[in-house]
């Protein structure tokens, strides 16, 4: 049993909070990548509130697990979770995107506590993660690297170069997710640049693949436990998700990749999120 | 060449720079059947989708894969077509730098690049999406022409001119929402030839992109408040640089400031400095831009103000340079 019912209940409460935080921050920021932030909530929540070996009051802890949010545009979700985890005061996020703020849309590792790697330009996170994982191995450290990719992001060739090297160097101290919400900016992934057969591609590159429901804490937990125990090859967790998850008018809507919210829409979005957690 | 193009009738204030170029490209697409378009999951944001919607069989959205996109563009150009490629400046000039240099510039291919969200135009997005390095990078690629239009009208002019301008062209624009500067397209736009948008004899402000409009505003106020006669050059083409205009500015005003939404190293300011140094003449000079740092986060207006690229900042810098000393030299002919 990788996860108890009680744990799931607590994580659902966190996810509920974080979804509403994302809506608030999007409002304060004047706009954010809200769709892809909402689809990745469960993945980041379970990492930060169950699995990661971290100390928020000691963000530079040497043996901490590393997180690389390669789809860095989901910074609003990451920032909300870091705040709720206690890295910094949540109220600071009212300044998100504002002049001279430490928080821009894509989080800066030199400005935001708890962010291990500055991302935002797609296709950088997996190579960096392979480097972090190899670094741990060379230095005989036990920490793990967790990497989260977008599915559209996987168009970038650098991911496949990294995939090849992760297999070649037998990188198994790394857990990698793809947030498979099936949408990018200009449209659905399969219309803009087809990824399927997606799992087979990773398999052909020598990876072990788990396909799960990326909104189920149960399934994410099982996949993470599998990835952590597997020592023969790198593991890819393809997390099937819904872009805009929780907000009815955003779900599966391409146009909500990025958007701003006025008070009316903020209210509607939060009501929709509350309904999700009642049902 | 522009005959028949009607972008000036669009309400340029209501259209972003990118939208104007999208419209212009559509018109050009009708006339030039060899124009093809490419983007990398930013067709809508860059507005090249207007061309894509009109000519779907001549448009390729390659997904989020900029290096691949420029390789494909090189192949399309080799096959005899004229690719117009558009995505964010950062992902062209840095991610795909080698493809642009080796596949396109080295082979002197006819690829037109429209780089959006350049400088700090996407200020809130942070440094991954700022691009204050592209002029430096693109200037250093032999065969490349580098143009920074002042507004939507000029963007239309450059895009139209680029079709008949052989070889690679890098057209750098912002995110959109900047107000227009020109009232119409008929001011004699020519690649490589700067435009004196305001006459003046005491000091020259050499500008490109968003700073042109701000500098003209500043020049008017400096005239009123300080009695200064301020020349403003719209140096839209960074390469090849209009050296004659710079030499005239050295000789006739002896004070020059450059303003650009780019690192102060290796962009417009450095290009102008090269000409000043080679002239052998004393000239009070200052470069204004992003002072070799990763820009702050914020809305572009706040950033332009912070980095002295808006009207107030330009006035402040002009006053500073008016107080600078330079070596007087009456015998102009001996050194030029
Ligand atoms: C190298 C690069 N090219 C383009 C972009 C612009 N961009 C930001 S998000 C995005 C779409 C990402 O799609 P996906 O990876 O599927 O993310 P999600 O749908 O989960 O938000 C694009 C093209 C970028 N950030 N980096």
- A70, A125 in Cβ contact below 8 A? yes
Catalytic residue numbers of B, as ranges = 66
- For position A167, what pLDDT does the model report? 98
- For position B3, what pLDDT does the model report? 40
The answer to whether B63 faces chain A, any CB pair under 8 Å, is yes
Complete DSSP assignment for B97-147: HHIIIIIIITTT---EEEEES-BTTTGGG-TTT-BSSHHHHHHTSTT-EEE
pLDDT classification of B326: cutoffs 50, 70, 90: confident
SS3 call for B22: helix
How far B139 CA lies from chain A's nearest CA (Å)?
23
Complete DSSP assignment for A2-69: -S-HHHHHHHHHHHHHHHHHHHHHHHHHT-B-HHHHHHTHHHHHHIIIII----TT-TT-TT--EEEE
Bridging pattern class, strands B112-116 and A235-240: unpaired
Q: How many CB atoms lie within 10 A of CB B109?
A: 21
Q: Which residues of A74-109 are buried (b: 16+ CB within 10 A; e: fewer)?
A: bbbbbbbbbbbbebbebeebeebbbbebbbbbbbbe
Of A108, A156, A189, the CB nearest to B127: A108
Residues in A whose CB is inside 8 Å of some CB of B read 29-31, 72, 97-108, 118-123, 152-153, 155-157, 184-186, 189, 192-193
State the distance from the centre of ligand 1 to the C-alpha of A187, rounded, in angstroms. Answer: 11
What residues of A are in contact with residue B130 (Cβ under 8 Å)? none
- B299, B177 in Cβ contact below 8 A? no
pLDDT classification of B332: cutoffs 50, 70, 90: low
CATH number of the B195-323 domain: 3.40.50.920
Q: Give the Cα separation of A257 and A244 in Å (integer).
A: 8
Is the CB–ligand 1 distance for residue A36 below 6 Å?
Answer: yes
What residues of A are in contact with residue B45 (Cβ under 8 Å)? 185
Ligand 1 atom nearest the C-alpha of A33 is: 21
Largest Cα–Cα distance in chain A?
53
pLDDT in tens, A28-49: 999 999 999 999 999 999 999 9
State the distance from the centre of ligand 1 to the C-alpha of A153, rounded, in angstroms. Answer: 6
Across the A:B interface, residue pairs with CB atoms under 8 Å apart total: 94
**pLDDT beyond 80 at A1:** no
**pLDDT beyond 60 at A15:** yes
**pLDDT beyond 60 at A156:** yes
Q: How far is CA A84 from CA A77, A107, A216, B57, in A?
A: 11, 16, 21, 49
Mean pLDDT of chain A: 97
The answer to whether B124 faces chain A, any CB pair under 8 Å, is yes
pLDDT classification of B12: cutoffs 50, 70, 90: very low
**Residue B61 C-alpha from the chain's centroid:** 25
Mean local confidence (pLDDT), B202-217: 97
Q: Give the closest residue to A184 by CA, choosing from B175, B50, B61, B63.
A: B63
Closest alpha carbon within chain B to A193: B63
How far B271 CA lies from chain A's nearest CA (Å)?
29
Q: Give the Cα separation of B220 and B198 in Å (integer).
A: 9
pLDDT in tens, A60-110: 999 999 999 999 999 999 999 999 999 999 999 999 999 999 999 999 999
**pLDDT beyond 50 at B2:** no
What residues of A are in contact with residue B65 (Cβ under 8 Å)? 155-157, 193
Q: Give the closest residue to A101 by CA, choosing from A135, A76, A72.
A: A76
Q: Give the closest residue to B25 by CA, choosing from B3, B43, B7.
A: B7
The answer to whether B42 faces chain A, any CB pair under 8 Å, is yes
Token couple for B210: 């968003």
Q: Give the closest residue to B185 by CA, choosing from B150, B153, B208, B147.
A: B153
- B208, B238 in Cβ contact below 8 A? yes
Complete DSSP assignment for A226-268: HHHH--SS-EEEEEE--TTTT-TTTTT-GGGGSB---HHHHHH
Mean local confidence (pLDDT), A204-229: 98
Beta bridge partners of A175: A146, A235
Q: Which residues are CB-contacts of B116 (< 8 A; sequence separation ≥ 6)?
A: B18, B42, B45, B46, B86, B87, B88, B89, B173, B174, B175, B176
The answer to whether B303 faces chain A, any CB pair under 8 Å, is yes
Is the CB–ligand 1 distance for residue A150 below 6 Å?
Answer: yes
Q: Give the closest residue to B178 by CA, choosing from B10, B299, B49, B318.
A: B299
Contact B41 A155 (CB under 8 A): yes
Residue with tokens 């002019």: B157
**pLDDT beyond 50 at B220:** yes
- A111, A81 in Cβ contact below 8 A? no
Q: Which residues are CB-contacts of A70 (< 8 A; sequence separation ≥ 6)?
A: A119, A122, A123, A124, A125, A126, A128, A129, A147, A148, A149, A150, A153
pLDDT in tens, A219-267: 999 999 999 999 999 999 999 999 999 999 999 999 999 999 999 999 9
Left (φ > 0), alpha (ψ -120 to 50) or beta: where does A120 sit? left
Q: How many CB atoms lie within 10 A of CB B325?
A: 7
B2-172 homologous superfamily: Thiamin diphosphate (ThDP)-binding fold, Pyr/PP domains (3.40.50.970)
Residue with tokens 């999007």: A26
Q: How far is CA B137 from CA A9, A94, B68, B146, in A?
A: 53, 36, 19, 10
Domain ranges of chain B: 2-172, 195-323
Bridging pattern class, strands A66-69 and B284-290: unpaired
Contact A193 B127 (CB under 8 A): no
- For position B7, what pLDDT does the model report? 42
Q: Which residues are CB-contacts of B290 (< 8 A; sequence separation ≥ 6)?
A: B119, B120, B132, B261, B262, B263, B264, B307
Token couple for A186: 């200009």
State the distance from the centre of ligand 1 to the C-alpha of B248, rounded, in angstroms. Answer: 46
SS3 call for A107: coil
- For position B280, what pLDDT does the model report? 93
Mean local confidence (pLDDT), B84-96: 97
A5-278, which class in CATH? alpha beta
DSSP-derived secondary structure letter, A154: G
Token couple for B189: 């736009």
Closest alpha carbon within chain B to A72: B128
- For position B327, what pLDDT does the model report? 77
- For position B46, what pLDDT does the model report? 87
**pLDDT beyond 70 at B335:** no
What residues of B are in contact with residue A157 (Cβ under 8 Å)? 65, 67-68
- B96, B39 in Cβ contact below 8 A? no
SS3 call for B43: helix
Q: Which residues are CB-contacts of B63 (< 8 A; sequence separation ≥ 6)?
A: A152, A155, A184, A189, A192, A193, B40, B41
Q: Give the Cα separation of B130 and B288 in Å (integer).
A: 17
Closest alpha carbon within chain A to B305: A99
Q: How far is CA B79 from CA B35, B39, B74, B82, in A?
A: 12, 19, 9, 9
- For position B330, what pLDDT does the model report? 66
- For position B10, what pLDDT does the model report? 41
């Amino acid at each position: 049993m990788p996860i108890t019912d009680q744990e799931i209940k607590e994580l659902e409460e966190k996810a509920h909070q974080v979804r509403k935080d994302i809506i608030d921050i999007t409002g304060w920021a004047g706009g954010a990548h809200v769709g892809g932030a909402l689809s990745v909530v469960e993945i980041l929540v379970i990492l930060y509130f169950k699995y990661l070996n971290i100390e928020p009051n000691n963000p530079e802890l040497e043996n901490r697990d590393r997180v690389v949010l390669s789809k860095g545009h989901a910074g609003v979700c990451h920032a909300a979770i870091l705040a709720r985890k206690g890295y910094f005061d949540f109220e600071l996020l009212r300044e998100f995107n504002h002049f001279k703020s430490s928080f821009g849309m894509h989080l800066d590792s030199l400005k935001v506590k708890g962010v291990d790697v500055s991302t935002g330009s797609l296709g950088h996170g997996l190579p960096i993660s392979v480097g972090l994982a190899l670094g741990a191995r060379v230095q005989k450290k036990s920490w793990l690297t967790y990497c989260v990719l977008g599915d559209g992001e996987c168009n970038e060739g650098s991911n496949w170069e990294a995939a090849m090297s992760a297999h070649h160097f037998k990188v198994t101290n790394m857990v990698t997710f793809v947030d498979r919400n099936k949408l990018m900016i200009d449209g659905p992934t399969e219309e803009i640049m087809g990824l399927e057969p997606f799992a087979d591609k990773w398999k052909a590159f020598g990876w072990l693949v788990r396909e799960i429901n990326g909104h189920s804490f149960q399934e994410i937990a099982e996949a993470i436990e599998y990835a952590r125990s597997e020592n023969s090859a790198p593991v890819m967790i393809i997390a099937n998700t819904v872009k805009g998850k929780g907000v009815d008018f955003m779900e599966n809507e391409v146009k909500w990749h990025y958007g701003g919210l006025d008070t009316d829409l903020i209210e509607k979005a939060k009501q929709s999120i509350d309904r999700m957690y009642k049902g | 060449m522009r005959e028949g193009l009607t972008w000036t009738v669009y309400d340029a204030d209501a259209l972003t720079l990118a939208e104007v170029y999208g419209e212009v490209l559509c018109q050009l697409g009708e006339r030039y059947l060899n124009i093809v378009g490419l983007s990398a999951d930013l067709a809508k944001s860059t507005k090249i989708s207007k061309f894509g919607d009109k000519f779907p069989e001549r448009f390729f959205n390659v997904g989020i894969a900029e290096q691949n996109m420029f390789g494909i563009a090189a192949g399309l150009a080799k096959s005899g077509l004229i690719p117009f490629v558009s995505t964010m400046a950062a992902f062209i000039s840095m991610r795909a730098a080698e493809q642009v240099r080796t596949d396109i510039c080295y082979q002197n291919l006819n690829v037109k690049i429209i780089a959006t969200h350049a400088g700090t135009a996407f200020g809130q997005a942070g440094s991954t999406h700022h691009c204050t390095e592209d002029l430096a990078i693109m200037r250093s690629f032999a065969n490349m022409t580098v143009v920074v239009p002042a507004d939507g009208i000029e963007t239309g002019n450059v895009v139209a001119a680029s079709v008949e301008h052989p070889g690679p062209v890098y057209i750098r624009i912002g995110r959109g929402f900047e107000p227009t500067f020109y009232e119409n397209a008929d001011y004699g736009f020519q690649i490589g030839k700067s435009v004196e948008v305001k006459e003046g004899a005491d000091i020259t402000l050499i500008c490109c992109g968003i700073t042109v409009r701000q500098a003209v505003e500043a020049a008017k106020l400096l005239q009123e408040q300080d009695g200064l006669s301020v020349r403003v050059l719209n140096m839209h083409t960074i390469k090849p640089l209009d050296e004659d205009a710079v030499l005239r500015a050295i000789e006739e005003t002896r004070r020059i400031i450059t303003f650009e939404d780019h690192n102060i190293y290796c962009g417009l300011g450095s290009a102008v400095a090269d000409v000043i140094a080679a002239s052998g003449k004393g000239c009070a000079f200052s470069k204004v831009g992003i002072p070799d740092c990763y820009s702050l986060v914020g809305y572009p207006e706040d950033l332009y103000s912070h980095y002295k690229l808006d009207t107030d900042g330009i006035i402040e810098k002009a006053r500073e340079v008016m107080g600078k000393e330079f070596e007087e030299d009456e015998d102009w002919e001996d050194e030029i």
